[in-house]
């Protein structure tokens, strides 16, 4: 009984962790692709990590077809989602809790530009798609390429003009296979460290990594850290990001 309880707790921790949510979200997208897209026409590549000039970039899903290349960023989130195409950050609201996260359109932009340079093709043949899974609701109007659940399939099916020849599709598939890094734990750890380095660079520039506003030095007024200096976001209380003064 104790073993079962521990196992259930571990499963619950995994499901609620950012890593677990990512795995589950990508699995749901994979399932939708497998069930609703013809695998002979739409070629799926999952968790593709590619080297860039400044490190690596990791793409959740790439679908190659004669109708173009679809680059999918998956978000497994709950609550109300507020966002605008041009904002640096979007907002997730769960009851009274508010969280800022990077605009996924901007996040996916780096992915599409990396692939555009790698494939040496026109940017109009690459489509960026953001798909939210989980118990979330859009509370602001979203662009057509920001979808919920299986809505990304509808977006893909809406592209009916032939943009790539059969040989081009074959060449791109081979190029992805050749250039992608091995899907290993080491590759994942190196990419995570690269992302952390980017966040640290933003902090070093005195910019909040959550919302992009200026970090200001403050002094703690209570608790065990009373009178200690720390960096806080200038947009507090909207953004509650803090960092230690090193």
Say whether both 132 and 238 belong to one domain. no
Residues in Cβ contact with 87 at an 8 Å cutoff, skipping those fewer than 6 apart: 103
CA 45 – CA 183 distance, rounded (Å)? 11
Confirm whether 138 is domain-assigned.
yes
Whether residue 69 is found in the same domain as residue 164: yes
In a domain, 8, yes or no: yes
Query: What gap in Å lies between CA 71 and CA 60, rounded to an integer?
Result: 8
Residues 129 and 212 in one domain: no
Query: Cis peptide leading into 237, omega within 30 of 0?
Result: yes
Looking at the structure, tell me whether residues 122 and 223 fall in a common domain.
no
The answer to whether residues 52 and 9 belong to one domain is yes
83 and 142 Cβ atoms separated by less than 8 Å: yes
* 119 plus 170 within the same structural domain: yes
Q: Structure tokens of 27?
A: 């699995």
Helix axes 104-119, 166-179, angle to 10 degrees: 110
Q: Is residue 103 part of a domain?
A: yes
Q: Residue 241's pLDDT is what? A: 83
CA distance 27 to 24: 5
Same domain, 6 and 58: yes
- Which are the contacts of 90, defined by CB distance < 8 A and separation ≥ 6? 81, 82, 83, 84, 100, 101, 102, 103, 104
> What tens digit of pLDDT does each residue of 192-216 get?
555 555 555 555 557 787 777 778 8
C-alpha 100, offset from chain centre: 14
- Same domain? For 224 and 132 the reply is no
In this structure, are 125 and 224 located in the same domain? no
Query: Do the domain assignments include residue 115?
Result: yes
> How many domains does the chain fold into?
2
In a domain, 174, yes or no: yes
- Would the pLDDT of 111 be above 90? yes
* DSSP, residue by residue, the chain: -HHHHHHHHHHHHHHHSHHHHHHHHHHHHHHHHHHHS-TTT-EEEEEEEEEETTEEEEEEEEEEETTEEEEEEEEE--EEEE--TT-SEEEEEETTEEEEEE-HHHHHHHHHHHHHHHHT--GGGEEEEEEEESSEEE-S---TTEEETTHHHHHHHT--S--S-HHHHHHHHHHHHHHSPP-SHHHHHHHHHHHHHHHHHHHHTTB-TTT-PBEEEEE--SGGGTT-EEEEETTTTT---EEE--
Containing structural domain, residue 83: 2-193
Task: Give the pLDDT score at 205.
Answer: 56
Per-residue pLDDT, 13: 57
Examine the pLDDT at 191 and tell me if it is beyond 50.
no
Is 67 within a domain?
yes
Whether the Cβ atoms of residue 206 and residue 212 lie closer than 8 Å to each other: no
The answer to the question of residue 199 being in a domain is no
User: Are 18 and 139 within one domain?
Assistant: yes
Least confident among 42-46, 85-89, 128-132 = 85-89
Least Cα distance to 133 among 48, 72, 46, 64 occurs for 72
Are 13 and 94 within one domain?
Answer: yes
Residue 200 falls inside a structural domain: no
147 vs 222, more confident: 147
Q: How far is CA 58 from the centre of its chain?
A: 9
For residues 157 and 49, membership in a common domain is answered with yes
Residue 14: the pLDDT is 47
């Amino acid at each position: 009984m104790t073993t079962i309880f521990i196992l259930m707790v571990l499963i619950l921790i995994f499901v609620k962790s950012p890593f677990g949510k990512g795995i589950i979200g990508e699995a749901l997208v994979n399932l939708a692709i497998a069930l609703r897209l013809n695998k002979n026409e739409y070629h799926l590549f999952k968790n593709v990590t590619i080297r860039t000039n400044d490190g690596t970039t990791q793409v959740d899903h790439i679908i190659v077809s004669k109708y173009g290349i679809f680059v999918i960023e998956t978000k497994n989130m709950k609550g109300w989602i507020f966002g605008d195409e041009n904002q640096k950050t979007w907002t997730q609201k769960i009851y009274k809790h508010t969280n800022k996260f990077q605009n996924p359109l901007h996040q996916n932009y780096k992915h599409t530009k990396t692939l555009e340079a790698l494939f040496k093709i026109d940017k109009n043949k690459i489509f960026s798609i953001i798909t939210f899974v989980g118990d979330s609701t859009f509370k602001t109007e979203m662009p057509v390429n920001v979808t919920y659940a299986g809505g990304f399939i509808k977006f893909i099916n809406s592209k009916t003009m032939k943009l790539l020849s059969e040989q081009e599709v074959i060449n791109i598939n081979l190029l992805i296979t050749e250039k992608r890094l091995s899907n290993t734990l080491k590759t994942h750890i190196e990419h995570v460290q690269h992302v952390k380095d980017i966040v640290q660079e933003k902090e070093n520039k005195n910019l909040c990594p959550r919302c992009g506003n200026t970090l200001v030095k403050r002094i703690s007024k209570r608790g065990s850290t009373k009178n200690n200096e720390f960096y806080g976001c200038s947009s507090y209380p909207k953004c509650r990001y803090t960092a230690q003064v090193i």
